[in-house]
Amino acid sequence: MSPIFIGITGASASGKSLLSATIYQELKEEVGAHHIGIIKEDSYYKDQSHMSMEERLKTNYDHPNAFDHHLLIEHLDQLGRGFHVDIPVYDYTEHTRASDTIDMEPRRVVIVEGILLLTDPDIRERLHTSIYIDTPLDICLVRRLQRDIESRGRSLESVISQYRQTVRPMFMQFVEPSKQFADLIVPRGGKNRVAIEMIKARIKQLLE
């Protein structure tokens, strides 16, 4: 049986990971842990190990060119055909791909989450339902500051400077306009209980 792909997108730190993890945790009780999985678009950032750290720091990580969407699409198709895939592991501190990968077996439901998913028509056409998290940008910035300093090895100055130079402009150019392609727009982020229940109900309906 071909998996059901659910896309979750929105600004950086809008709550995509939290929403995906919540749906995963709650649905796995009902459909079984082996039947549901999550793929992060971030895992498909291009490897930059051939570049100097100075060059890596200049990369625009919020532009579609920063991602290897070809590999992501290939993996969605392989899962669709019932094959395992080796998901890359991305290191946000070194800006490189780790040498090991994570094996993912075919699942009945695959949640795919990331900032630029809906900008790519080849990804859009593979998603059975797409969700855009609409969290105000100031809230995203505060959340991102905290997260990037605590868990992505970043300084306050670097987060603010990257936000001004690329994160906000690319959000305006690519992420926000991709909202038009979503089936559902969720305000506030990963703790919207009504949205979580609606998405779970939709997935269960698709599974029938």
Tokens of 193: 């209980």
* Minimum distance from residue 50 beta carbon to ligand ADP (Å): 27
Residues 42-101 that bind ligand LLZGTKA7 (CB under 6 A): 42, 45, 61-62, 92, 95
Known binding residue 58? Answer is no
123-162: contacts with ligand ADP (CB under 6 A): 143, 147
Q: Comparing C-alpha atoms, which of 40, 9, 15 is closest to residue 174?
A: 9
**Minimum separation from the CB atom of position 170 to ligand LLZGTKA7 (A):** 8
10 is in an annotated binding site: yes
Annotated binding site for ATP: 10-17
Note the residues at the interface with ligand LLZGTKA7 (CB under 6 A): 12-13, 16, 42, 45, 61-62, 92, 95, 115, 162, 167
Note the residues at the interface with ligand ADP (CB under 6 A): 10, 12-18, 143, 147, 188-191
